[in-house]
Structure 1
Amino acid sequence: MKTLLNFTIILCSVIIAQAQDLKITNQIASSLKDTVILSKLHYPKSVMRFYAKNNSEYAWIHGVQKLDQPELAMLLLEYSYRFGLPLSDYHLETLSLEKLRKLRNISAEADQKEKALFDVLMTDALITFINNLHFGKYNPLYNSLNIDTNAIHEFRADDILLDARQQTDFLKALEVQPKIKAYTDFQDYLNVFYTENDCMDSHPEIEKIMINMERLRWIDNESKPYILINIPSYTLELYQKDAVFDFKVIVGKPTTRTPVLESRINYFTTAPDWKVPQSIFVKEMLPKILKSSQYLEDHHYAVYDRHGNEVEISSSKLKEIRQNPYHYSVRQSSGCDNALGAVVFRFPNSYGVYLHDTSQKQLFNQSERALSHGCIRVEKPKELASLLLRYDGAESDIPVFENAMAEYKRKDFVLKQPVPVVITYLTCLIKDGKPVLYKDIYHFDDSLENKFNLNK
């Protein structure tokens, strides 16, 4: 009789618990059907995927995860500014550590609707934080709808968050930000800054760091070696294992900007000829050619028709070229005065830009070097090419390359392992532990500052 009574008590307890679990499940499911609640979410599809895999159970209020995880997660949101992210994206008008503790401590029978709303908003906030940390908030390639719908390079914030809840080190599992050195330098600086300055007051250098961390989140590169070309600082940095090699560069003028892009250097060529871009030929060269055809010979240019045949220049031909300039093209033969210098580094891109040597070495003495038509000129191309060959296991090709470069002999050097090249636009970098600001030569900062509401 006693055994039967005990079994009855246990059975009743199980039924009650199951009824409570069902109520919780129903409340989460109900919240995710509420259009008002869904309208508040930044990533509604991700949130719904998260709870579907979590059996529509609470993740932060009554979750079975380690007790400190919800509080760590909430602190992460409240301190998101320490990661160079704005606080406005994380529902902090509703969420707080104090409210989390209150809801976790009150009885299970308390207002389940309030608990469900808090849990759902916290999940959305954490998914938003993960996406902002990994992709940036204003990524020009992926908007929030695209990220919410698709796995971008197999990355889904809801899967990251679900996995983190199973890990011993919850915070480490959420380290999804870029590994590129310029970014880690910013993060290290912010860690020190906010440790020494326990406040959120606006600081100009912090605002610059914030928008430039955003730009670095748009970069999809995790490998070494890689080349980072920064337009505002006129610099090229080659990262190889633990070594960094610095080079001066010349970039595009404000009227002919160097584009921001990512690609890979596949090969480089010594003694290149230069196919003059049509815009340069028509706008800049043609008036000089029409004034004196000797200009072509003096600069080792040749004119070609649309079939690739070299054209003999005469007064009648010049008249025809003037009337139909887009039927013709110009090339400059290799040599010491070639615009591309003695070597050009090629990487596929839709802008037709490349990295190359130059015959105008004196321009590297200028502090402001936005002088080109968009391509990038590098000060010491021989050293750069030698480093690439050595890292590629082709050190024996270095003498061959140097000879071809010195004697202006055309030869291609193909890399077995193409090297990632990132052309970016950073108006702030950390140098020797301190922020260094650079002139916003293309005036890109204002737009991003406005988006982050940093312009007061």
Structure 2
Amino acid sequence: MKAFQYFVVIFFAILPLVIYPQDVKVGREITTALMDNTYLSKLNFPKSVIRFYTDNYSGDSWTDSQQGLDQSEIALALLARADHYGLSLSGYHLESLSFKKLKQWRDYPSEKNQKERAVFDILLTDGLITFINHLHFGKYNPLYNSSRIDSSRTNGFCADEILSAARLRADFQGEIHNAQPKIKAYRDLQAYLDRYRSENKATATKAVMDKITINMERLRWISTQSENYIMVNIPSYTLEFHQGDEVTDFKVVVGKPTTETPILESEIEYFSTAPDWRVPQSIFRNEILPEILKDMSYLADHHYTVYDGAGNEVIVNASTRRQIRNNPTKYSVRQSSGEDNALGAVVFRFQNPHAVYVHDTPQKQFFNRGKRALSHGCIRVENADRLAAMLLSYDDSEYRISELDYAIQSYEKKDFVLSKPLPIIITYLTCLIKNGKPTLYTDIYQSDKLLQDKLNQNTTPSRIAYDF
């Protein structure tokens, strides 16, 4: 905290040197206000606000009568229409900002209102920076809280820089809009919600509107900016391969409610044919070991091999079976490749802390079910061979498709490394726009209520005015 205060004092000691003469008095009031820690504590992103005035302030305040009304009115209108973007109206200082005050100061500038104008200026700046961050990261991002976002550039994004650049552009509003996610699912939801709010139609219930805002929030947590990506949506049991505007759908099986598929982002760097399955310890202990203890032939019938802690194969007999039963954590199980292998003919790998992956399966019949939350957390994909071939085409390696086909048919072990790793997003969306209308999916992990409760907090602007 002391280091932060020192930075504020040193910087604002020199700030007046870069303020242009036309608005020196408001600039000085801004300088004074931003040296007050009590005042700074009222802001959502104080460090970002300081950076905005430090690096980019040219002397033109939002209330400067010489600047014209357009940009400031657009800025205030964006905050007043936050609900058109699936955001609540709270948190943007709307209780202290008004078009009436803005117009009054523009039309009738006075020496008596310099301090009030400075406060208005800072609150509008903080409101816009907050709005931009909420558009980009969401309000309840599990990876990036407001303190972390305020401290520095996050994944190449910095809201105060976005705002500064927008002030220099003819399309001020468009520059702000660009902070939003580029993913198609988000763009579809946002367009529908904006149209619904603007036309004030009663064609959708509050429950549907709540679902839209919940899932727009989730989509803001995604950092992928590429137009090419794979998106697995757990509630709809689908995998989508996006290549620009072209989307190819695949059915998937996802984790049961007791063994949920995790939400994550990564990149598919390679896929393999004829994979072995290294059985997770939990599955070994809870499912395979009881079968071994009941039936000595179970391992051979399902092509499993047991290994000790040193990686040596264990011959399972009456003696070693007792040892395995008494000390299961000292052993592991691997299933060899083949028609019965749980991973099927091909597996798609990507780095993640949960050790999950996308893979083929010998149990094709499960794709005929409507509800497909059946796995231990990994994702089984229908037509995995087709997905693999599409990845090769995406990677400009169509010439390897025949090699892939042979490897799958003959169960030959082979790695296919992509020269262009493909982003993969595993997300949880209970509402998407299909054929122009909202489509709702079962909340199989019961995740919506917790997020809805957070979004419902302070859904209207506070009526308590700031007194600085």
**What TM-score do you get using the length of structure 1 for normalisation?**
0.92
Say whether residues 1:141 and 2:151 are aligned partners.
no
Q: 2:183 aligns with which of 180, 185, 190?
A: 180
- Aligned partners of 2:125, 2:458: CA distance in 1, in Å? 30
Change in 2 beyond 3 A, CA 1:18/1:195: closer
Change in 2 beyond 3 A, CA 1:288/1:212: same
- Aligned partners of 1:250, 1:451: CA distance in 2, in Å? 30
Q: 1:305 aligns with which of 300, 304, 308?
A: 308
Q: 1:99 aligns with which of 85, 98, 101?
A: 101
Secondary structure at 1:122 match in 2: helix
- Aligned partners of 1:189, 1:304: CA distance in 2, in Å? 55
CA contact (8 A) 1:57 1:63 kept: no
Corresponding residue number in structure 2 for 1:315:
318
CA contact (8 A) 2:23 2:61 kept: no
Could you give the per-residue CA deviations for residues 1-26 of structure 1, whole angstroms, max 9, x where no partner exists? xxxxxxxxxxxxxxxx9987442222
Q: 1:167 aligns with which of 147, 153, 169?
A: 169
Say whether residues 1:422 and 2:451 are aligned partners.
no
Residue 107 of structure 1: how far off its partner (Å): 2.2
* Structure 2 unpaired stretches of 5+: 1-18, 460-468
Q: Percent identity, aligned pairs only?
A: 57
Could you give the per-residue CA deviations for residues 338-376 of structure 1, whole angstroms, max 9, x where no partner exists? 100111111111110000000111011111111000000
Corresponding residue number in structure 1 for 2:13:
none
Corresponding residue number in structure 2 for 1:111:
113
Could you give the per-residue CA deviations for residues 90-114 of structure 1, whole angstroms, max 9, x where no partner exists? 1111112222212322223132221
CA contact (8 A) 1:25 1:56 kept: no
Corresponding residue number in structure 2 for 1:282:
285
Corresponding residue number in structure 2 for 1:373:
376
- Aligned partners of 2:146, 2:248: CA distance in 1, in Å? 37
Change in 2 beyond 3 A, CA 1:142/1:18: closer
Corresponding residue number in structure 1 for 2:367:
364
CA contact (8 A) 2:26 2:117 kept: no
CA contact (8 A) 1:65 1:166 kept: no
Greater Cα shift, 368-377 or 287-296? 287-296
Change in 2 beyond 3 A, CA 1:198/1:79: farther
CA contact (8 A) 1:250 1:372 kept: yes
Task: Give the superposed CA RMSD.
Answer: 2.0
Superposed counterparts of 1:22-421, under 5 Å: 22-55=24-57, 57=59, 59-62=61-64, 65-174=67-176, 175-197=178-200, 203-421=206-424
- Aligned partners of 1:21, 1:391: CA distance in 2, in Å? 55
- Aligned residue identity for 1:213: M
- Aligned residue identity for 1:32: L
- Aligned partners of 2:438, 2:21: CA distance in 1, in Å? 58
- Aligned partners of 2:58, 2:30: CA distance in 1, in Å? 6
Corresponding residue number in structure 1 for 2:3:
none
Could you give the per-residue CA deviations for residues 244-269 of structure 1, whole angstroms, max 9, x where no partner exists? 10000000011111010011111111
- Aligned partners of 1:170, 1:448: CA distance in 2, in Å? 31
CA contact (8 A) 1:289 1:295 kept: yes
- Aligned partners of 1:50, 1:338: CA distance in 2, in Å? 57
**What TM-score do you get using the length of structure 2 for normalisation?**
0.90
CA contact (8 A) 1:61 1:103 kept: yes
Could you give the per-residue CA deviations for residues 378-420 of structure 1, whole angstroms, max 9, x where no partner exists? 0110111111111211111111111111121111111111111
- Aligned residue identity for 1:125: G
Change in 2 beyond 3 A, CA 1:394/1:322: same
- Aligned partners of 2:153, 2:335: CA distance in 1, in Å? 46
- Aligned partners of 1:438, 1:233: CA distance in 2, in Å? 6
- Aligned partners of 2:370, 2:20: CA distance in 1, in Å? 72
Residue 34 of structure 1: how far off its partner (Å): 2.9
Change in 2 beyond 3 A, CA 1:134/1:428: same
Greater Cα shift, 49-58 or 421-430? 49-58
Change in 2 beyond 3 A, CA 1:385/1:186: same
CA contact (8 A) 2:271 2:347 kept: yes
* Structure 1 unpaired stretches of 5+: 1-16
Residue 68 of structure 1: how far off its partner (Å): 0.5
- Aligned partners of 1:419, 1:350: CA distance in 2, in Å? 18
Change in 2 beyond 3 A, CA 1:221/1:447: same
Residue 377 of structure 1: how far off its partner (Å): 0.1
Could you give the per-residue CA deviations for residues 129-148 of structure 1, whole angstroms, max 9, x where no partner exists? 00000111111111101111
Superposed counterparts of 1:438-453, under 5 Å: 438-453=441-456
- Aligned residue identity for 1:37: Y
Which protein is bigger by CA-based radius of gyration? 1
Change in 2 beyond 3 A, CA 1:18/1:233: closer
- Aligned partners of 2:325, 2:249: CA distance in 1, in Å? 44
